Amino acid sequence: MLRVSSSSLKKKITNDSLSCIPVYFQIGQVIESPADFYHSRIPKKHRKKTLVDELLADAEFKNKCKKKYKTIVQEQTFKTKRVQKHMKNVNKDQKHKQKKSMRKGDS
């Protein structure tokens, strides 16, 4: 499974490549060090029974994060465009007021 998951997702996986089982392989449980308690460990409620379940859950989580990121970026671009439009109007008003004051000062 690790060999399959590390390969590119765009490549097509054939049955021939998976039919040969490696001579040496190990089955075990991953044990985290106590130093990584707050940083890189997975909490118990997020752990799954199998590696396949973890990979599927991780893919779903990544998709949710991507969607959330896209919505945030869209909101930010909308806000910046709105602010730029407002500033453009403010600058026009200031220039117009300066021209009026220049005309009053000339006469």
pLDDT tens digits, one per residue of 30-56: 777 778 777 777 777 878 888 778 877
Q: Read off the pTM.
A: 0.36
Residue 13 near residue 4 (C-beta atoms within 8 A): yes
How far is 84 from 88, CA to CA, in rounded Å? 6
Angle (CA) 52-19-10 rounded to 5° is 55
- Of residues 55, 41, 63, 43, the one with CA closest to residue 3: 55
Residue 57 near residue 48 (C-beta atoms within 8 A): yes
Q: Is residue 83's pLDDT more than 80?
A: yes
pLDDT band for 15, please (50, 70, 90 cuts).
Answer: low
Q: Where do we find the tokens 């990584």?
A: 36
Q: What is the pLDDT of residue 14?
A: 58
Domain boundaries, the chain: 59-103
Output the DSSP codes for 35-68.
GGTTTTPPPGGG--SSHHHHHHHHHHHHHHHHHH
How far is 47 from 53, CA to CA, in rounded Å? 9
Q: What is the pLDDT of residue 10?
A: 53
pLDDT band for 18, please (50, 70, 90 cuts).
Answer: low
